[in-house]
Structure 1
Amino acid sequence: MSRGNGTASISSSKEDVEKDLLRILSYQAESAITQGNNKEAVAYIQRCKDMLLRLPKDTAYLSLMCYNFGIDAYSVRKYEDTAFWLSQSYDIGKMSMKYGPGSEVLAKALRLLATVYLEWDCAKFAEKAVNAVSLANKECVSTYGLYLKIKILLRCESSDRLNEMLESEVSLELCLSTVKLLISEKREALAFEYLKSVCQHFETSPDLGAALVLHIELLLQRGKELLGKQKIEDVITGHCTGKQLTPQALTSLHVLLWDKASKYFEAGSYSEALQWYNYSLSLFKGGQMEPNLAKLQRNRASCFLKLKQLEKAKEAIKEAQRCDPDNIFTQFSVYKVAVQENEAEKGALHAMGRLSKNPVACEDRLLVSEDAASNLLSLAAQIALENGQQETAMKALEILCEHSKDQAQVLVALRCLVRLVLSTIEKLTLQTISHPSHMTVDQRTEEANWFRKIAWNLALQCESSPDKMRDFFVLSYQFSQLCPPDRTLLMGQRTCLLMAAAASLELGRKSSHPTQFTQTLEHIQICSEVWKTLKASGAFSNSLLLLYEFEARAKLNDPIVEAILESVLELENVEPKMLETMAALAMEPPAYFPLLCKKALRVALFLHKKQPQADLAHCSKCVHSLIKLSLPSGVSEVEAHVLEEVWNYYEEALSIIAAPDDFPEMETLWLLTQAWNTGILLYSLAQYPEAEKWCGLAMSFVRHLGSLQESYETQVEDWWREGKG
C-alpha cells in the first residue's frame, strides 16, 4: 500500500469516528432532555456544534434536533429553555447554507421563538420578539409571519412601526386578517382606518368585495346600523353598475343581510326585517331564477303578512312560485295568504301533500326533521283554526293522515280530526233540534238526550285537553236544555257546568289572560240557577260551586270574594280543608287578600280544635300561616294591635306543642326564631319591656326542642345575656 492511500484511509476512518461520536453525543443530549437535565443536554449539543465545522453534512440533523427540544420545552411552557433551543436551532442551521434545513424550517423556528417571547413577557422581550419575526420574514416571508409581526407590534403598542408595517405591500387576505386582529385587540379606530385604506388600495381589484362585506359586518356588529346601511346601499349601487361582487363576497353579503332580517323578524320588527330582505333582493338580477330567490320572496311574503299587506304578500309569493313552484314551503306560503284572505286554498294543501313524499330541505332553521312536510301540514291546520276556518283545518289534517309515515303523529291528527268533526256535527245537530220542526216533543227529547250523552262521553275522553273538555261539557248542557227538566237532568246540568268551570279554571292557571276566569264565572252563574232549583227539592251543597267562584274572583282581584267567604261560613258542616284551600287561593298571585286569608285560617283552626280528636298537624299549619301573615316585616309595621294579634297566635302554638303528641322540632325552632327576631326588632326600637317579653316567649320554646334543646338552650342564654348587657 502506498503512503497516499494510507493517509486517505486514516482520514476516512477519523471522519467515521467523529460521525459516530456526534451521533452518540446527540443521543446523550436527547436522553438528558428526557430525564429533565437541560444543562447536561446543552453541554452535549455544544460539543456537537463544535464538530460541525468538520461534519457540515449533519447541520440539518442537529438543527432539527434543537428545534424538537424547543417544541418539547414549549409544550410544558418552559419559556427560557424553549427560547434557548430555538435560537440554537437557527444558529446551527445558518452554519451551512448548503447542508442546513432550509429557509422555511429556519423561519418556522424563528416565528415560534417570537411567539415564545410574546407569551413569556411581551413588555420585557418586545424587541427580541420583533427581531425574531422580522428575521423569519427575511428568511421566508409568509402570511402568518406578517400577521404575527402585526400582533406583536400591537401588543407592544409600537404605533410607528405598526403603521409602517400596515403600509407595506401585502395581500388582501392578509390585510383583512389584520383588520380582524386589530378588532380583537380592541384597536377599533385603527382597524377601521386601516380597512378604509385597504379598500382604497385594492379599489380596482376584483376581490374588493370581501373588504367591503367585512366593513359592513364590523359596522353592524358595533351597532352602527345607519353607517352600515349607507355602505350596503353603496355596494348595491356598485354591484348593479359594473363593480360586481365575486360570488363568494355576494354570498357572504346575502348571509349577513338575511341574518339581520331574521333577527328583526323574531323580535317582531317586521318593517325593519323587510328592509333588510329588500337589500338582498336588490342584489339579484331581473328575471333571475334560483331557489335562494324563491326563499327570499317567501321571507318577504311572511313580513308582508305580518304587516297585513296582503296584495304585496301575493306579489312576493307569485315570484316565489315562478322561481321554485315545486317547493313545499312555496305552497305553504300560498296557503297562508289564502287563509288570511279567508279563501280556503285546497290546491296548496294537496300540493303540500304530494310534495311531502319527497325529502324536504330545511327552511331558515324552521323545520329540519324527516317529518318536516307533515309538520307543515299540522301547522297549516293550526293556522286555519286560529283564523276560524274549521273546514280547512280538517282538510289539512286529512291530508296529513294520508301522507305522514309517523304513526304517533297520525294518531294525534286523527284525534284532533275526530273532535273537530264531532264538534261540527254536534253544533249542527244542536241548531237543527232547537229550531222549530215537524218533530214531536218526544222525538226531539230523544234526539237531544242522545246527543247530550255523546257530548258528555266525549268530554270525559278529553281529560288531557281542558279546552275541548270544557266545550263538550257546555255542549252537553246546551242539549240538556232541550229536554224536559227533572231532578236527574238538573243534576247532570249542574255537573256539566261545574266541570266546565273547573276546566276553565285549569286553563286560567296556565294563562296570563283573565278571560278564562271570566268564562268560569259565567258557567258558575248559570250553575247557581240550576242549584237553586235543585235546592228547592232537597238538600244540595253548593260548596264546590262557591270554591270555584272564589278562585276565579280572587284571580281577578274582585272584592266580592269577601261575600263568597261569608257564604261558605254560613254553610252547614263546612269542612276545615275547604277553608284552608280558600286561604291559600286568597294569597296565590295575582290574588292578594291577606285579611281574608287570616279569617279563613282562624275559622279552620277553630273547626280543627272543635273535632273530638283534634288534628294537631293541621292546627300547627294554620297557626304557622297566621303568624307568618301577621308578623311585622319592618319598622313601619310594628304596632301594638299587630303584636297583640301575633302574641295570641303564639299562645295557640304553645297550647298545641304542650299536647302529648310529638311536635316537629323544626316547626318549634321556626316559632322560637321568629319570636326572638321580633324581640330583637323591638329592642332596636328602644321598646325594651316589649323586647324582653318577646325574647322570653322565644325562650319558652327551648324546652320543647327535644334533641336540639341542649344546643339551642346555650345559644339562647348567651344571646339573652348579650342583649341584657
Structure 2
Amino acid sequence: MHRADVEKSLFKVLSYQAESAVAQGDFQKAVMCMQRCKDMLMKLPKETCYLAVLCYNFGVETYEWKKYEQKFKSFVFVYMFTCGYFFCFQAKVLRLLATTYFEWDCSLYLDKALKAISLANQVVMFSLAEFTRLEMSLDSCLNIAKLLLEHGRESVGFDFLKSVPERFESSPDLGKITLLHIEFLLQNKRELLAKQKIEEVIIGHYTGKQLLPEALNQLHIILWDRKSYSEALHWYNYSVSFYTPGQIDQNLAKLQRNMASCYLHLNQVDKAKEAVKQAERCDPTSIFTKFSVYKIACSIYKPCFNSFQSDQQIVAIKALEYLSEHLKDCRQLFAALKRVSNHLFTSRLLYMGKILITFSYFWCQLSQFCPSDKAVLIAQKTCLLMAAAVDLEMGRQNVTPSEQTELFSQALQHLQTCKEIWKVLKLTGDFAKDPTDTLLLLYEFEARSKLNDPTLHNLMESVWEQPQIEIKTLEIIASLAMESPARYPVLCKKALKSALNLHRKQAVIDAVKFSKCLHSLINISLPTGLTDLDSCVLQEVWDYFEDALSVVSSTDAYPETEILWLMTRAWNTGIFQYTVGKYKEAELWCGLGMRFLNHLGSLKKSYEGHVSVPGGI
C-alpha cells in the first residue's frame, strides 16, 4: 500500500474519532484529533474544506448544547483552516463566532464580538473586491448584488452596487444598475434616497444620458407599483417627467388612466377628468380609456349608483331616466347602463318591476344609437332581444292582466323590429351557429300564447315544417304552451310528439331524456283520475307505453323511478276501466303494467304484492 493512501486513511480515522468524541462530550480528545488532522493538511490539501465544514458542524452542535467554550475552539479551527481560501465561509464563521461571544457573556466578550463582526465585514468586502477584479459580465455583478440584498446584506449590497458603474461606464445597459438600486431602495423604505436617484435619472434623460427603452419601461412599472393613492400620484408624476409635452404614447395613456383612478379615489374629480382627457388624446380607442371615461361619468352622476347600492331603487330609476334624457354621449350612457345591469344581476334585483320597465326602455333606446353596418347591426339586434327578454320576464311576475298585455305586446314590437334586422344580417354572412332564430321563435311563441293571439297556430305551422328544429326547443315550446296564463294542450302535445319522434331517430337514444319527454306526453294525454276516456285516446296512450317498453327492454339506462311510474299509470288505468265495467280493457292495461314490473330492479319485490290484488297502487 502507498504511503499516501495510508495517510489518507489515517486522516479519515482521526476525523471519525473526533466526531465520536464530540458525540460523547469528550471535547479534549476531539481537539487532539482535529489538531492531528490539521497537521496532515500539508500532505492532504484537498481535505481542507472537509475539515473546515466538520469543525463548523462541531461548533453548531456545541452551540445548541450551550457549550460556548467548545464552540469557540471549533470556530477558531475553522477560521484557521479557511484563511485565504473561502471568504464567504470565513464571514459566516465569524458572524456565528460573534453570536457566541454575545450569548456567552456579553459584558466580558463585547469587544471580541465587535472585532469578529468587523473582521467578517472586511472579509466580505475583500471577497467583493476580488469579484470586481475578475472579468465578469454586468448581469453577473447584478446577480451578486441581488443575492446580497435579498439575504439581508443591504449595507454590503448597496456598497457593491455603487462600485459596479465604474466598471461599466461605457455599457449601454448601465441603466440596469440604476433600476436595481431604485427598486431595492423602495423595498427597504428608503424613499428619499430613491427619489434622489429618480431625479438624477430624469435630469440624465434630458441631458443626453437616456435609459434604453426596455429599462425606461421597467422604471415606469416600478414607479406605478405603489399602493397608497396619494403616494402613487407622487411617483406617477415622476414617470410623467420622462414624456415630452404633446407626446402620444400608449404607455402615457396607461399612466394617465392610473392617475385618474387615484384622483377619483381621493375625490379629486376635476383632476381625474383632466387625466382622462390626456389618456383620450394618447389612446382614444382603448377599451380601458373608455372605461375610465365611464368611471368619470359615474362619479359625476354618483347619486344614481349610490341609490342602487343603498336599495333606494325608486330614486335610482329616476336618476337613470334623467340620464337617458339628458346625457348626450351615448357611449357614457351605455357604459352606465351596463354597470347598473351588472349590479342588478349580482344583487338579485333584476326581477323588480319598475326597474325592468326602465331597462326595457333603455335597451330599445340604445338600439337606435347603432349605425347600419354589420358590427353595429349585431349590437342593435342584441339590444332588441334584451328589451324583449326584459318585457317577458316582467310579464311573468305578479302584475295585473292589463299590465301583462302591455308588456307582452311591447315584447312583440321589439321582436318584429329585431326580425327585420336579422333578415338583413343573414344576407351578410354565415350565421349557422347563431341562436337568434331559436330565441326569436321562443320569445314570440311565449308572447303570443300568453296574449291568446289567434295567429299563434299559423306561427306554429311554420315551426312543424322546420327540418333542423332541436329537441330542446320543442320541449321548451311544450312547457310554455301550458304556462299560465297560456293554456294550449294541443300545441303542447304536438310539440312533445315531435320531440319524441326526434328522440327515436337518434343513433343512440338518451334514455333519461326520452323518459322525461314521454312522461310529459303521457301526462298531457292521460290526465290522472279520468275514467271515461275515448277509445282512440286510450289507443294513442297505449302506443306511448309500448314505445317506452321497447326502450326499457333495449337499455339498462332507463331510470327505475320512471319504469315504476309507467307501471303504476298502466295498472291504475286498468283499475279505472275495471270500476266502470270494462273488464277486457282492464285486463289489457293491468297486463301492460305487469310487463313493466318485470323490468324493475331493486323495487320489484316491494311492488309484486301490490299488483296481485285488484286495487290501485
| TM superposition score normalised by structure 1 | 0.42
